Amino acid sequence: AQSVTQPDIHITVSEGASLELRCNYSYGATPYLFWYVQSPGQGLQLLLKYFSGDTLVQGIKGFEAEFKRSQSSFNLRKPSVHWSDAAEYFCAVGFTSGTYKYIFGTGTRLKVLA
Protein backbone atom coordinates (compact mmCIF):
# COMPACT_ATOMS: atom_id res chain seq x y z
CA ALA A 1 0.00 0.00 0.00
CA GLN A 2 1.11 3.55 -0.65
CA SER A 3 2.23 5.36 2.49
CA VAL A 4 4.29 8.22 3.85
CA THR A 5 6.16 8.07 7.13
CA GLN A 6 7.62 10.88 9.17
CA PRO A 7 9.25 9.01 12.04
CA ASP A 8 9.92 12.05 14.23
CA ILE A 9 6.85 13.58 15.87
CA HIS A 10 8.82 16.28 17.68
CA ILE A 11 12.30 17.69 17.12
CA THR A 12 14.03 20.36 19.20
CA VAL A 13 17.10 22.17 17.97
CA SER A 14 19.01 25.23 19.09
CA GLU A 15 18.96 28.33 16.97
CA GLY A 16 21.85 28.24 14.54
CA ALA A 17 22.10 24.46 14.59
CA SER A 18 21.54 22.32 11.52
CA LEU A 19 18.29 20.49 10.93
CA GLU A 20 17.23 17.33 9.17
CA LEU A 21 13.64 16.09 9.06
CA ARG A 22 13.02 12.61 7.80
CA CYS A 23 10.47 11.37 5.31
CA ASN A 24 10.09 7.90 3.85
CA TYR A 25 7.52 6.68 1.37
CA SER A 26 6.27 3.39 0.06
CA TYR A 27 5.45 3.23 -3.64
CA GLY A 28 6.43 1.14 -6.62
CA ALA A 29 7.68 4.04 -8.69
CA THR A 30 9.14 7.49 -8.11
CA PRO A 31 6.38 9.72 -6.81
CA TYR A 32 6.06 13.46 -6.72
CA LEU A 33 7.50 14.64 -3.40
CA PHE A 34 6.77 17.77 -1.43
CA TRP A 35 7.53 19.44 1.86
CA TYR A 36 5.04 21.85 3.40
CA VAL A 37 5.31 24.02 6.50
CA GLN A 38 2.42 24.99 8.76
CA SER A 39 2.74 27.82 11.25
CA PRO A 40 0.25 27.91 14.13
CA GLY A 41 -3.22 28.88 12.99
CA GLN A 42 -2.19 28.96 9.37
CA GLY A 43 -2.58 26.84 6.29
CA LEU A 44 0.18 24.81 4.73
CA GLN A 45 2.82 26.53 2.64
CA LEU A 46 4.82 24.73 -0.01
CA LEU A 47 8.55 24.73 0.79
CA LEU A 48 9.87 22.67 -2.10
CA LYS A 49 9.07 19.83 -4.44
CA TYR A 50 10.77 17.09 -6.41
CA PHE A 51 9.55 15.57 -9.61
CA SER A 52 12.62 14.51 -11.54
CA GLY A 53 16.16 15.60 -12.35
CA ASP A 54 18.67 16.77 -9.76
CA THR A 55 17.99 14.89 -6.58
CA LEU A 56 18.97 17.84 -4.39
CA VAL A 57 16.30 20.51 -4.57
CA GLN A 58 16.29 23.99 -3.14
CA GLY A 59 13.27 25.61 -1.65
CA ILE A 60 12.16 28.76 0.06
CA LYS A 61 13.40 30.01 3.42
CA GLY A 62 16.80 28.36 2.95
CA PHE A 63 15.51 24.78 3.00
CA GLU A 64 16.70 21.97 0.78
CA ALA A 65 15.76 18.33 0.39
CA GLU A 66 17.46 15.31 -1.10
CA PHE A 67 15.69 12.46 -2.88
CA LYS A 68 17.31 9.07 -2.38
CA ARG A 69 15.66 6.43 -4.50
CA SER A 70 17.53 3.55 -2.84
CA GLN A 71 16.22 4.57 0.56
CA SER A 72 12.77 5.78 -0.58
CA SER A 73 13.50 8.95 1.32
CA PHE A 74 13.10 12.67 0.86
CA ASN A 75 14.68 14.35 3.87
CA LEU A 76 14.43 18.06 4.52
CA ARG A 77 17.50 19.99 5.66
CA LYS A 78 18.54 23.43 6.72
CA PRO A 79 22.13 24.35 7.61
CA SER A 80 21.26 26.92 10.27
CA VAL A 81 17.86 27.12 11.92
CA HIS A 82 16.25 30.42 12.85
CA TRP A 83 13.73 30.88 15.65
CA SER A 84 11.09 31.68 13.02
CA ASP A 85 11.41 28.16 11.61
CA ALA A 86 9.48 26.77 14.58
CA ALA A 87 6.43 25.18 12.97
CA GLU A 88 5.05 21.85 11.86
CA TYR A 89 6.48 20.27 8.74
CA PHE A 90 4.65 17.86 6.50
CA CYS A 91 6.01 15.59 3.84
CA ALA A 92 3.57 14.80 1.05
CA VAL A 93 3.62 12.32 -1.78
CA GLY A 94 1.72 12.49 -5.04
CA PHE A 95 1.44 9.28 -6.98
CA THR A 96 1.82 8.96 -10.71
CA SER A 97 -1.00 6.47 -11.18
CA GLY A 98 -3.57 8.92 -12.50
CA THR A 99 -4.96 10.27 -9.27
CA TYR A 100 -4.34 13.88 -8.34
CA LYS A 101 -4.41 13.52 -4.60
CA TYR A 102 -1.55 13.56 -2.18
CA ILE A 103 -0.91 11.56 0.92
CA PHE A 104 0.48 13.59 3.78
CA GLY A 105 2.72 12.37 6.53
CA THR A 106 1.72 12.87 10.13
CA GLY A 107 3.99 15.86 10.51
CA THR A 108 7.05 16.79 12.55
CA ARG A 109 6.74 19.62 15.03
CA LEU A 110 9.92 21.66 15.24
CA LYS A 111 10.83 23.60 18.35
CA VAL A 112 13.74 26.05 18.24
CA LEU A 113 15.60 26.99 21.39
CA ALA A 114 17.04 30.48 21.66
Partner 1 sequence: DAGVIQSPRHEVTEMGQEVTLRCKPISGHDYLFWYRQTMMRGLELLIYFNNNVPIDDSGMPEDRFSAKMPNASFSTLKIQPSEPRDSAVYFCASSPRGGISRGYTFGSGTRLTVV
Catalog residues that contact partner 1 under the rule CB under 8 A.
32, 34, 36, 41-46, 49, 51, 90, 94, 96, 99-102, 104-107
70 with 55: CB under 8 angstroms?
Answer: no
Q: Which of 27, 28, 25, 6 is nearest to 108 (CA)?
A: 6
Cβ proximity to partner 1, 38 vs 72, nearer residue: 38
d(CA 86, CA 66): 21
Q: Supply the minimum distance, in Å, between the C-beta of residue 17 and partner 1.
A: 27
Cβ proximity to partner 1, 23 vs 81, nearer residue: 23
